[in-house]
């Protein structure tokens, strides 16, 4: 039986590979994701380990805030260095300054390097540098003294500068110029994921990055015979409360864990899209196998008459599924490896070169890929296999392919209805229920969606016929006889048409879903921003979310025409055991731009902010039972504790909150956050509103802050939305993969239909249908199927988006239909249908009429 | 060899049978009724048919279209179930059997030959022939296979696939496939229906040869009047009932019988 199944597959090579292709794409994405993330992980880990090759122990500041949510980077006092280096176990110790905000600016005033990766800036003791594996000087020497810098080779190339030239660097204040004295690279890699590197001597870096008297870390080298652990034990008594000392191995692990948690997010995001593609692929497999089983009814029946049991028939079809799955997985892994290589080449092309030691092929990659591919295919072939077992032996003596009798269609209807109800219930729980962890909520929603798609696919068999009548109408009206026949053909086996269209439906539904939701978000962002504040100009970082120098607001306030410049500082603080956002502003000017919506207190309360007063949001106050006068103990990222007092409660929308849960006066804020770059937004009120003259003056005042931009309020809102558009474009590309898979499904169905209707096509050709007409007939059928996919997918996507919008109603998300996008999706669907028809149509038109008519 | 069988006088095989002795019956059908549809539109394809299929004989079932002959054979072979009545194959009542024991019964006792041959296109002739054994998980007896292949005249064609063979050759493969398990009874459904008359004659002769050489019991439904030349007994069906029975008959007699039935 096994042999029969395999031989059968072999004899239908083309069909088998087309079927397998439905899974190949999904698996290639799974494999590609693992290979890529493993490789990047390994490279970073190796780099991080090698950078500390010579070090025994590392002293650094502790931060209570996770995920780098603070600009208050952990530091240790510089005075600690001398005490550590005089320890009996320490041979030597070096101070290090390290930041991610040392943007280099080239002669034209443009930033060097891509926007995403960090612009690393270091302060190193020239005596220590080069000792470890971190930096290597390629040309020139290390920076010594206030006006010097050594930069990485790649950045020098990008900025067209070399030794002796000047380069400007934006640290925590205005731009400063430095003479390049050396070119360097990190370890043996000439790129660190596109990050730029500028290395100064210690005092220069401390000054440039606003870290006077502080160090990012102290690297300690042990005397011979002193173990890192013993050294750490000696260091510990010297440490201030917010500092820690780790052995080098512990430190490397910590360095790596930060990166790997980021890599994990990317990995799971990519795997989610791979999962969607596999889900769609499962539909295609199910569909193709269903059709081939139907076409082989007589073969199955004959096997039954010569003694095959139902179990053997089941085994036969499942073997086919298993083989297709295994085949697809193996090919998918191959494609995935290419995909990973292609992706890292692509990333290199846009400047985010991935440092690569060697591509990592973890056994886990292969196991997961193959198991997933096989399991998905097996599950998809279970339905057709069970159908095959219901082929009665008597079908062997009937003429033509008799479709195996379906389970009572009434039963099916009820089952589909029940599934729909269940899926909606699961979705409802996922969206509106309460969960401890958001991952559980997401999984529940995902399961609900999957069930919902299956239910809609099952039910669509019942409305495929009327739908085909409607969406096939244009083709039928303008496509002549071929168009009419195409519509009839699409309606012939509604279940088949429906499940072919269902694969496309899923992709379209998801595309529609993200598009509707994104539009809602974009609209809501504007509404929320306008609701909270108004100004003539808004100043923000180029990326829209980074904090920038606190000196900016003061400088802009002095520009003629500017009446008020209100800066919003932001950072993270810990209150009631949770990380929350804290804002600092000047209470004297804040109310001129910010529209407070007082729940308790009034604009007059602002005067009471002082050194320990706090305004809290209504939801935060409600959650922790706070009111005017309540004490509010908070803890700084470095561990210092502050006792604040609530002086007012302000209502705030929950989307794009301009103020954090807690707001304090600028003075109080600056007293505790040392970093001079904590400004998120500066609101400007100008005399006479927007004017080109003022704008020009503002821009020239900001020339020394190239990472900051000044925008009109409308532009500022658009900038916030453009981030959403980038994300949306990424989603479209990743979901496009699923659409490609479903297009293969259409190709399969049509190819099988052409095969099935060979005799009929021959007859049509014999009575005068031209090749062109035959092609058109197939093409129109394909477009009809695609449009059924669109006609179900788009409403399903809109429905899901409406549900999510309702679930997020407290965030005031607007439900808004992106009509032009939806029209574009429909047109894209028609194009997809036309592409899918190319091969089957060619086959139909090249049919040998005589042979077709003789075909048994 | 085909011609050899065909050239044998008809008397020779009927005379080989000891017609005086009543042979054991391997298939027994009692009071078979088969109703299709429900209510007013229902049709009785079979009405109270009883018959015995004697072992080692070739029984032909004939009759005009719609007479119920195919339905009768399907029920005898366990492919279809009667509305009422019983069928026993080798002592087992099959009309109430579940799928699993029915499958087992097919493996051990029943062989099929179809009008459209029903070979598996991806398998060679040899693979098609031994397929029933393979499915049943039994070993192929090399000597028996060789003998069988020789007698159907396919020794040279064993590695060919169905698409590379003529219709007659395909039906020979199908016959070999049905005989490989030495079934208690072989059912042939219009075995010459899709062949030209010359090839059809060869196939009929081959069926006769299986009866004579291997003592095979065969039930054959056919339109072909020449079936009379190879059948030990011809049953005529009309309107779902057995209306006539001829033994050791001739095509002329059969033609006459059929035309009489048509007149009724």
In the predicted structure, residue A745 carries a pLDDT above the cut 80:
yes
Interface membership of A305 toward B (CB under 8 Å) = yes
pLDDT at A16: 84
Per CB-CB distance under 8 Å, the chain B contacts of A394 are 74, 79-80
Using CB atoms, which residue from A306, A310, A394 is nearest to B99? A310
Higher pLDDT, B16 or B195: B195
Show the tokens assigned to B234. Answer: 């011809």
What Å distances lie between residue A570 and A71, A72, A123, CA to CA? Answer: 9, 11, 26
CB contact under 8 A, A305 and B189: no
* Residue A396 DSSP class: G
Residues paired with residue A613 on neighbouring β-strands, in sequence order: A645
Question: What is the residue-wise DSSP string for A739-752?
Answer: HHHHHHHHHHHHHH
Q: For residue A854, what are the contacts with CB-CB under 8 A and spacing of at least 6?
A: none
Higher pLDDT, A654 or A100: A100
Per CB-CB distance under 8 Å, the chain A contacts of B79 are 305, 392-394, 396-397
Per CB-CB distance under 8 Å, the chain B contacts of A309 are 99-100, 103
Using CB atoms, which residue from B80, B123, B135 is nearest to A307? B135
Using CB atoms, which residue from A11, A307, A397 is nearest to B79? A397
Using CB atoms, which residue from B78, B122, B135 is nearest to A1? B135
Per CB-CB distance under 8 Å, the chain A contacts of B120 are 4, 8, 299, 302-303
Asked if residue B8 is part of any domain, the answer here is no
Asked if residue B177 is part of any domain, the answer here is yes
A104 SS3 class: strand
Interface membership of A307 toward B (CB under 8 Å) = yes
CB contact under 8 A, B135 and A303: yes
Asked if residue B188 is part of any domain, the answer here is yes
- Please choose, from the candidates A684, A678, A679, A677, the residue with its C-alpha nearest in 3D space to the C-alpha of residue A715: A684
- Please choose, from the candidates B175, B182, B173, B177, the residue with its C-alpha nearest in 3D space to the C-alpha of residue B109: B182
Asked if residue B160 is part of any domain, the answer here is yes
**Confidence label for B137 from pLDDT (cuts 50, 70 and 90):** confident
**Confidence label for A526 from pLDDT (cuts 50, 70 and 90):** confident
In the predicted structure, residue B170 carries a pLDDT above the cut 50:
yes
- Could you report the per-residue pLDDT of A546-603, keeping only the tens digit for each? 889 999 999 999 999 999 999 999 999 999 988 899 999 999 988 888 989 999 998 8
Using CB atoms, which residue from A8, A306, A308 is nearest to B112? A306
First to last CA, chain B: 42
Q: CA B171, CA A603: separation in Å to the nearest integer?
A: 99
CB contact under 8 A, A306 and B177: yes
- Give the closest-approach CA distance of A838 to chain B in angstroms: 28
Per CB-CB distance under 8 Å, the chain B contacts of A396 are 79, 112, 114, 118
In this prediction, residues A822-836 reach a mean pLDDT of 94
pLDDT at A485: 87
**Confidence label for B6 from pLDDT (cuts 50, 70 and 90):** very low
Q: Residue A438, exposed/middle/buried by CB under 10 A (0-12, 13-18, 19+)?
A: exposed
Interface membership of A397 toward B (CB under 8 Å) = yes
pLDDT at A408: 59
pLDDT at A262: 78
* Residue A402 DSSP class: P
Interface membership of A310 toward B (CB under 8 Å) = yes
What backbone torsions phi and psi does residue A582 show, to the nearest 5 degrees? Answer: -120, 140
Asked if residue B225 is part of any domain, the answer here is yes
Q: CA A319, CA A314: separation in Å to the nearest integer?
A: 8
Per CB-CB distance under 8 Å, the chain B contacts of A3 are 134
pLDDT at A190: 61
How many Cα neighbours within 13 Å face the side chain of A232?
18
Higher pLDDT, A722 or A421: A421
Using CB atoms, which residue from B74, B106, B132 is nearest to A397? B74
What backbone torsions phi and psi does residue A718 show, to the nearest 5 degrees? Answer: -60, -40
- Give the closest-approach CA distance of B36 to chain A in angstroms: 15
- Give the closest-approach CA distance of A299 to chain B in angstroms: 7
- Give the closest-approach CA distance of A844 to chain B in angstroms: 22
- Please choose, from the candidates A274, A448, A297, A299, the residue with its C-alpha nearest in 3D space to the C-alpha of residue A804: A448
Using CB atoms, which residue from A3, A11, A396 is nearest to B114? A396
Higher pLDDT, A49 or B206: B206
B244 SS3 class: strand
Average predicted confidence (pLDDT) for chain A: 87
In this prediction, residues A204-227 reach a mean pLDDT of 91
Q: Is residue A374 within 8 Å of A329, Cβ to Cβ?
A: yes
**Total of domains in chain B:** 1
CB contact under 8 A, A306 and B106: yes
In the predicted structure, residue B14 carries a pLDDT above the cut 70:
no
Q: Which parts of A121-194 fold into alpha helices (H)?
A: 153-159
Q: CA A815, CA A807: separation in Å to the nearest integer?
A: 12
Using CB atoms, which residue from A310, A312, A397 is nearest to B135? A312
Asked if residue B120 is part of any domain, the answer here is yes
Using CB atoms, which residue from B103, B106, B114 is nearest to A397? B114
Interface membership of A4 toward B (CB under 8 Å) = yes
Pairing outcome for strands B25-36 and A613-617: unpaired
Show the tokens assigned to A435. Answer: 């969960």
Number of residue pairs across A and B with CB atoms under 8 Å?
Answer: 76
> Any idea which of A192-201, A395-404, A820-829 has the lowest mean pLDDT?
A395-404
pLDDT at A172: 87
**Confidence label for B12 from pLDDT (cuts 50, 70 and 90):** very low
- Could you report the per-residue pLDDT of A688-699, keeping only the tens digit for each? 888 888 999 999
The total number of residues written for chain B in this structure? 264
Interface of B with A (CB under 8 A): 70, 74, 77-80, 99-100, 103, 106-107, 110-112, 114-116, 118, 120-123, 131-132, 134-136, 177-178, 181, 189
**Confidence label for A402 from pLDDT (cuts 50, 70 and 90):** very low
A108 SS3 class: coil
In this prediction, residues B58-69 reach a mean pLDDT of 89
CB contact under 8 A, B122 and A1: no
Range(s) of the domain holding residue B240: 24-263
- Please choose, from the candidates A319, A305, A260, the residue with its C-alpha nearest in 3D space to the C-alpha of residue A16: A319
Per CB-CB distance under 8 Å, the chain B contacts of A390 are none
pLDDT at A722: 79
Using CB atoms, which residue from B70, B112, B134 is nearest to A305? B112
- Please choose, from the candidates A395, A391, A371, the residue with its C-alpha nearest in 3D space to the C-alpha of residue A314: A391
Higher pLDDT, B242 or A479: B242
B interface mutation test: which of A309, A397, A402 has the most B CBs within 10 A? A397
Interface membership of A395 toward B (CB under 8 Å) = no
Q: Which residue from A minimizes the CA distance to B183?
A: A306
- Give the closest-approach CA distance of A328 to chain B in angstroms: 22
Interface membership of A194 toward B (CB under 8 Å) = no
**Confidence label for B5 from pLDDT (cuts 50, 70 and 90):** very low
Residue B233: which CATH number?
3.40.50.300
Pairing outcome for strands A175-186 and A135-140: antiparallel
Q: Residue A608, exposed/middle/buried by CB under 10 A (0-12, 13-18, 19+)?
A: middle
CB contact under 8 A, A397 and B189: yes
CB contact under 8 A, B114 and A299: no
B interface mutation test: which of A307, A308, A398, A855 has the most B CBs within 10 A? A307
CA angle A98, A100, A106 (to 5 degrees): 110
- Could you report the per-residue pLDDT of A8-59, keeping only the tens digit for each? 888 778 778 888 888 999 999 999 999 988 888 888 888 788 778 788 999 9
In this prediction, residues A118-124 reach a mean pLDDT of 89
Using CB atoms, which residue from B79, B107, B177 is nearest to A393? B79
A790 SS3 class: helix
In the predicted structure, residue A486 carries a pLDDT above the cut 80:
yes
B66: left (phi over 0), alpha (psi -120 to 50) or beta: left
Q: Which residue from A minimizes the CA distance to B100?
A: A309
CB contact under 8 A, B103 and A306: no
Q: Residue A602, exposed/middle/buried by CB under 10 A (0-12, 13-18, 19+)?
A: exposed
* Residue B181 DSSP class: T
Percent over 90 (pLDDT), chain A: 45
pLDDT at B11: 36
Q: Which residue from A minimizes the CA distance to B105?
A: A307
Interface membership of A392 toward B (CB under 8 Å) = yes
- Please choose, from the candidates A261, A235, A238, A221, the residue with its C-alpha nearest in 3D space to the C-alpha of residue A96: A221
Q: Is residue A328 within 8 Å of A282, Cβ to Cβ?
A: no
- Please choose, from the candidates B217, B215, B252, B247, the residue with its C-alpha nearest in 3D space to the C-alpha of residue B234: B247
CB contact under 8 A, A307 and B103: yes
CB contact under 8 A, B122 and A298: no
Question: What is the residue-wise DSSP string for B113-175?
Answer: E-TT----TTS-HHHHHHHHHHHHT----HHHHHHHHHHHT-GGGTT--GGGS-HHHHHHHHH
What backbone torsions phi and psi does residue B224 show, to the nearest 5 degrees? Answer: -75, 115
In the predicted structure, residue A648 carries a pLDDT above the cut 90:
yes
Question: What is the residue-wise DSSP string for A792-836?
Answer: HHHHHHHHHHHHHHHHTGGGT------HHHHHHHHHHHHHHHHHH
Asked if residue B111 is part of any domain, the answer here is yes
Asked if residue B72 is part of any domain, the answer here is yes
Per CB-CB distance under 8 Å, the chain B contacts of A310 are 99-100, 103
């Amino acid at each position: 039986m096994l042999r029969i199944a395999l031989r059968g597959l072999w004899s239908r090579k083309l069909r088998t590979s087309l079927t397998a292709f439905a899974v190949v794409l999904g698996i290639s994405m799974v494999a590609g994701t693992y290979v890529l993330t493993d490789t990047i992980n390994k490279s970073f880990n190796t780099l991080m380990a090698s950078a500390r090759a010579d070090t025994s122990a590392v002293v650094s500041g502790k931060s209570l805030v996770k995920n780098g949510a603070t600009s208050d980077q952990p530091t240790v006092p510089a005075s600690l260095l001398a005490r550590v280096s005089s320890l009996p176990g320490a041979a030597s110790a070096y101070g290090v300054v390290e930041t991610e905000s040392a943007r280099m600016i080239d002669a034209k005033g443009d930033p060097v390097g891509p926007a995403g990766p960090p612009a690393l800036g270091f302060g190193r003791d020239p005596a220590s540098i080069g000792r470890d594996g971190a930096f290597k000087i390629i040309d020139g020497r290390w920076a010594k003294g206030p006006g010097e810098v050594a930069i990485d080779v790649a950045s020098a190339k990008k900025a067209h500068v070399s030794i002796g030239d000047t380069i400007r660097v934006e640290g925590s204040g205005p731009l400063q110029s430095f003479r390049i004295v050396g070119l360097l690279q990190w370890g043996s890699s000439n790129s660190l994921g596109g990050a730029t590197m500028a290395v100064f001597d210690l005092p220069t870096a401390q000054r440039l990055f606003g870290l006077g008297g502080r160090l990012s870390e102290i690297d300690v080298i042990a005397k011979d015979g002193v173990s890192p652990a013993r050294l750490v034990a000696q260091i510990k008594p010297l440490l201030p409360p917010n500092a820690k000392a780790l052995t080098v191995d512990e430190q490397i692990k910590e360095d790596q864990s930060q990166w790997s948690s980021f890599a994990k997010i990317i990995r799971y995001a990519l795997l989610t899209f791979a999962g969607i593609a596999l889900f769609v692929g499962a539909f295609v497999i199910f569909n193709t196998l269903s059709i081939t089983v139907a076409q082989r009814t007589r073969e199955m029946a004959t096997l039954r008459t010569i003694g095959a049991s139902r179990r053997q028939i089941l085994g036969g079809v499942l073997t086919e599924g298993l083989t297709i799955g295994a085949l697809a997985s193996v090919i998918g892994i191959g494609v995935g490896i290419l995909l990973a290589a292609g992706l890292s080449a692509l990333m290199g092309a846009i400047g985010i070169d991935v440092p690569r030691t060697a591509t990592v092929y973890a056994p886990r990659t292969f196991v997961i890929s193959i198991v997933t591919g096989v399991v998905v295919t097996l599950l998809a072939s279970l339905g057709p296999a069970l159908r095959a077992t219901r082929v009665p032996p008597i079908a062997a003596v009937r003429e033509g392919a008799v479709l195996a009798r379906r389970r009572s269609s009434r039963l099916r209807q009820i089952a589909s209805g029940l599934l729909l109800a269940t899926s909606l219930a699961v979705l409802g729980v996922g969206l509106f229920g309460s969960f401890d962890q958001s991952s559980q909520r997401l999984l529940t929603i995902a399961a609900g969606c999957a069930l919902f798609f299956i239910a809609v696919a099952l039910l669509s068999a019942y409305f495929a016929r009327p739908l085909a009548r409607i969406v096939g109408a244009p083709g039928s009206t303008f496509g002549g006889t071929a168009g009419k026949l195409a519509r009839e053909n699409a309606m012939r086996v509604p279940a088949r048409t429906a499940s072919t269209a269902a694969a496309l439906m899923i992709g379209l539904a998801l595309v529609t879903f993200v598009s509707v939701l994104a539009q809602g978000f974009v609209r809501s962002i504007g509404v929320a921003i306008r609701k909270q504040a108004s100004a003539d100009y808004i100043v923000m970082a180029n990326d829209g979310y980074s904090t920038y120098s606190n000196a900016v607001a003061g400088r802009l306030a002095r520009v003629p025409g500017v009446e008020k410049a209100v800066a919003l500082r932001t950072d993270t603080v810990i209150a009631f055991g949770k990380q929350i956002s804290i804002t600092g502003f000047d209470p004297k000017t804040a109310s001129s731009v910010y529209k407070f919506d007082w729940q308790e207190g009034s604009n007059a309360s602002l005067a009471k902010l002082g050194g320990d007063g706090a305004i809290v949001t209504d939801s935060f106050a409600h959650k922790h039972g706070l009111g005017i006068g309540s004490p509010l103990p908070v803890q700084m990222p470095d561990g210092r504790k502050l006792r604040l007092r609530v002086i007012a409660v302000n209502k705030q929308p929950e989307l794009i909150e301009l103020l954090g849960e807690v707001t304090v006066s600028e003075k109080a804020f600056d007293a505790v956050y040392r970093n001079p770059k904590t400004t998120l937004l500066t609101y400007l009120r100008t005399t006479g509103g927007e004017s080109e003259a003022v704008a020009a003056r503002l821009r020239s005042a900001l020339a020394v802050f190239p990472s900051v931009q000044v925008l009109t309020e409308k532009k500022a809102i658009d900038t916030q939305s453009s981030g959403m558009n980038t994300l949306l474009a990424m989603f479209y590309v990743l979901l496009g993969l699923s659409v490609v898979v479903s297009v293969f499904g259409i190709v399969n169905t049509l190819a099988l239909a052409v095969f099935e209707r060979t005799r009929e096509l021959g007859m049509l050709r014999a009575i005068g249908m031209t090749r062109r007409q035959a092609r058109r007939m197939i093409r129109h059928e394909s477009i009809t199927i695609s449009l059924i996919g669109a006609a179900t997918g788009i409403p399903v996507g809109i429905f899901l988006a409406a549900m999510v919008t309702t679930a997020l109603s407290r965030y005031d998300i607007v439900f808004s239909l992106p009509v032009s996008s939806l029209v574009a999706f429909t047109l894209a669907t028609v194009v997809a249908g036309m592409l899918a028809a190319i091969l089957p149509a060619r086959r139909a038109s090249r049919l040998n009429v005589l042979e077709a008519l003789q075909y048994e | 060899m085909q011609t050899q069988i065909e050239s044998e006088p008809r008397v020779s095989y009927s005379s080989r049978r000891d017609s005086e002795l009543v042979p054991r019956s391997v298939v027994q059908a009692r009071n078979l009724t088969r109703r299709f549809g429900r209510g007013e539109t229902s049709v009785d394809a079979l009405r109270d048919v009883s018959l015995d299929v004697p072992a080692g004989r070739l029984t032909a079932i004939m009759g005009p279209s719609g007479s119920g002959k195919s339905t009768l054979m399907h029920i005898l072979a366990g492919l279809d179930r009667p509305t009422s009545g019983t069928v026993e194959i080798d002592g087992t009542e099959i009309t109430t059997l579940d799928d699993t024991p029915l499958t087992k019964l097919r493996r051990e006792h029943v062989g099929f030959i179809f009008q459209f041959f029903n070979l598996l296109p991806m398998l060679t002739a040899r693979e098609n022939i031994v397929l029933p054994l393979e499915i049943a998980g039994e070993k192929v007896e090399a000597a028996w296979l060789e003998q069988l292949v020789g007698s159907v005249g396919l020794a040279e064609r064993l590695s060919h696939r169905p698409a590379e063979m003529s219709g007659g050759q395909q039906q020979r493969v199908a016959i070999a496939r049905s005989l490989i398990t030495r079934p208690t009874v072989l059912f042939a459904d219009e075995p010459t229906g899709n062949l030209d008359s010359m090839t059809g004659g060869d196939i009929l002769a081959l069926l006769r040869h299986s009866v004579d050489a291997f003592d095979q019991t065969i039930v054959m439904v056919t339109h072909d009047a020449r079936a009379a030349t190879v059948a030990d007994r011809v049953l005529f069906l009309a309107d779902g009932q057995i209306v006539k029975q001829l033994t050791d008959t001739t095509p002329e007699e059969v033609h006459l019988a059929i035309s009489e039935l048509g007149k009724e």
